[in-house]
Copies of this chain bind each other. A is one copy, B any other.
């Protein structure tokens, strides 16, 4: 079944208002969630709405947060999210980073006491219209084992960088720091297909192709998969996202990051508050005239797109290409939802006495 952006956006906003969010916060959160659905990142869109609601109901997300910014320097600061949806705290922090960039060339805001913030790329793309490079990272529930470890100490901790262009579409990178994002594993689980080697290890730390390996005590592997293929580099990337998001801000970090699912309890002895994010905005005219920069970005993109390809592939992609193409299709044709997601949304409609036309 396919649903229009407008229908899903309106429904998402209504559900969030029903749980107690302000109109403004509910609209902002719906913007972030639906941007994931439009861009084809189905694991981070309305499929997660029921999970967020369960966290509200457990008191682990605050529907009426009073967020506070501590402007510690002209270019840096910390936002206390007061338990907000990350979907709300994230854009707020990014906008502060952009204001700081307008003031002194760059702005960097770390966020504590927040929750899951949706797709990292939504936040970084906010910087583009201000001719800023946008940067964002977050930590997340521990699912990933560092190289040589058999414990889950890191989340899939994504990093996003969005870079403005002139005529070409912007460069928008948004990547989990693991070989494969958890969403890809969930697809294999549903289809009962084996995972490629290098994606996961079992509870003893042995590489496995069983897609349920993580559920039964194993872990996702850092980008690279194993030491010989550079998994220590994926571990570096995931740990940088963790430290910038958690240790800089005063949020939890590493194995202390609260689980996203409501049926798992947070650590009773936390090392910080909630989960953490990190946002940056870097004005391109802080380095050279903005048009010079953007014209050279166009040239960079044209050259890479024109690259000779290997057999079986007809083009070299620029980061952001697949998501932008998906967005064009789904804006036109609608957003396909799987039956279990539709059932979840119907359940929410019933609970909050809302309409959800299937």
Contact = CB atoms under 8 A, between A and B. Distances in A.
- What is the interface residue range for chain A against chain B? 35 or more
A171 B243 contact: yes
Contact of A282 (B108, B224, B236, B249): B108
Given A230-B179, A286-B72, A286-B108, A316 B198 contact: no
A196 B300 contact: no
B148 A72 contact: no
Interface string A27-40: 00000000000000
Contact of A253 (B180, B198, B249, B296): B296
B287 A149 contact: no
A229 B179 contact: yes
A247 B297 contact: yes
Contacts of A283: 73, 76
B171 A287 contact: no
Contacts of A313: 148
Interface of A: 72-78, 104-106, 108, 110, 146-151, 153, 161, 163, 171, 173, 175, 177-180, 196, 198, 201, 204-206, 223-225, 228-230, 232-237, 239-240, 242-243, 247-250, 253-255, 271-272, 282-288, 292-293, 296-297, 299-300, 303-304, 307-311, 313, 315-317, 319
Given A149-B310, A248-B293, 18 more contacts: A73-B106, A73-B286, A74-B104, A74-B105, A106-B106, A149-B308, A149-B309, A151-B307, A175-B230, A201-B310, A224-B230, A239-B304, A239-B319, A243-B300, A247-B300, A248-B284, A249-B287, A253-B296
Name the 9 nearest CB pairs between A and B, nearest first: A73-B105, A205-B310, A76-B286, A76-B105, A74-B104, A148-B313, A75-B105, A149-B307, A173-B236
